Amino acid sequence: MTSLQAGRLLLMPNTLDLGAQAAPLDDVLARGVIAQAARLCHWVVEDARSARAFLNRVNRVVPLSQPLQAMRIVELPRPPKGPSRPAPGGDSRAAAELLAPARAGHDIGLLSEAGLPGVADPGAVVVAAAHAAGVEVVALSGPSAITLALAASGLNGQSFAFLGYLPVEAQARHARLREIESASRRLAQTQVFIETPYRNGALLEAAVGCLQGSTRLAVSCGLTLPEGWSRCRPVAQWKADPAPLPDRVPAVFCLLA
């Protein structure tokens, strides 16, 4: 039985400006969420360096409860390369170490590189482990590029699937895009996918080159950034009027056949 004094796992939202010019933190995150981050002294993060940069931004809005150097910041184990399937509960030994402060009565912040932890993010394994260990999980409100892009697309938000990254090799990528288009048409379902920023242009070019002209394709680039934009139009229009994509700003792609 879990102790009443046990700490919680707080899913801390992050900004979506990784690799871009940072926006004011309180333009993106609610003041109450920033205050929660400021009081935490135990963190599980995707990358320690970017986590410290995030906490420095927090400190400029709400002073940290402890000096940054005194905080316990532990990185998530690196996921294996290639297609992965989440393991329910994750690795029990790794989870026991990561969640140890909660059992000692301390709240833990879970922070991903961008957006919401556990959504297209390896932090999901820690959330699953917390549930298995009886540690309370608290999701805090913040931006998710996936849901923001879907909302901005005007496509079917009642039925959608997030597919993650598509194959890099050209032939496999084209085959996957045609498969996605077929599934979208059969299910009347929006398909959502992403790419590493420096391959955004290649993915858009591939999509325009192999999808049917009537398929609606939406691209959201630099979400929450001052220069961010979202555009949705048939593939035929993308082909007639190409739009260059920046190679250092994240983009999200949605299609509906």
Determine the average pLDDT of the residues in 40-62.
94
Residue 23 neighbours by CB distance under 10 Å = 16
pLDDT at 90 over 70: no
Calculate what percentage of the chain has a pLDDT beyond 90: 71
- The pTM of the full predicted model, rounded to 2 decimals, is 0.86
pLDDT for 22 beyond 90? no
Mean pLDDT over each residue of the chain, to the nearest integer: 89
**Which residue pairs from 234-238 have beta carbons closer than 8 angstroms and sit at least 24 positions apart in sequence?**
235/207, 235/208, 235/211, 238/204, 238/207, 238/208
Laid out side by side, the sheet with 160-165 consists of 160-165, 190-194, 251-256, 216-221, 229-234
pLDDT of residue 92: 52
Average pLDDT over residues 228-255: 93
Measured between alpha carbons, how far is 144 from 114 in angstroms, rounded to an integer? 8
* CA dist list (Å): 257 to 172, 182, 188: 20, 8, 7
CA distance 168 to 60: 40
What is residue 89's predicted lDDT score, i.e. its pLDDT?
41
Q: What confidence tens digit (pLDDT) does each residue in 92-129 have?
A: 567 668 999 998 999 999 998 878 998 888 888 899 99
| Structure token pair of residue 69 | 């150097």
Q: Element (H or E) spanning 51, and its range?
A: helix 48-61
Percent of the chain scored above 70 by pLDDT?
91
DSSP annotation of 143: -
Name the residue with tokens 């905080």. Answer: 71
Of the listed ranges 19-23, 54-58, 126-130, the least confidently predicted one is 19-23
Please name each of the domains of the chain with its CATH number: 8-139 (3.40.1010.10), 145-256 (3.30.950.10)
What value does the mean pLDDT take over residues 176-188? 97
pLDDT over 60 at 85, yes or no:
no
**Count of CB atoms situated within 10 Å of the CB of 92:** 11
Q: What is the pLDDT of residue 74?
A: 94
How high is the pLDDT of residue 95? 65
Closest CA to 140 of 14, 226, 27, 246: 14
Specify the residue for token string 């999200």: 252
Q: pLDDT at position 86, please?
A: 46
Write down how long the chain is.
257
Q: What integer pLDDT is reported at residue 125 of this predicted model?
A: 87
Flag whether pLDDT at 21 surpasses 60.
yes
